[in-house]
Amino acid sequence: MEQENQNTDTPFDNVISTYTQDQAIEDGILIKVGVLTSGQKVVFTTNLFESGGYDDPVKRIQLIERGIHCLRQPDPEDTDHMKLRVIEKDRIWVVADGNGLTFMRPEDY
């Protein structure tokens, strides 16, 4: 009896290219605004940073604190690799992943 070939590929076996967080910062897509105690970066999309007035450090720190508070709340959709929280519906999201925290507008995702 012949054994059928089983497809053991995972979605990440055939990656053609990657676009790193550092490249996005270099290209101006992301703006680095801080570093977590873990050494991971805190970044804002340029769209959110500029349109939301987050060049104001007080306003920026308040948003980062809100985002961290939201991320501490458990969610059944969390994975070991990523958490996404809506800080303001249809306006501001935060993603925690292996790179750190990324604050963005939904359309930037």
Q: Give the residue-averaged pLDDT of 102-108.
A: 97
CA distance 102 to 94: 5
Please choose, from the candidates 77, 106, 73, 107, the residue with its C-alpha nearest in 3D space to the C-alpha of residue 92. Answer: 106
Hey, which residues does 101 pair with through a beta bridge? 42, 96
- How far apart CA 104 and CA 102 sit, in angstroms, is 6
Q: 28-74 pLDDT, tens per residue?
A: 999 999 999 999 999 999 999 999 999 999 999 999 999 999 999 99
What's the pTM? 0.84
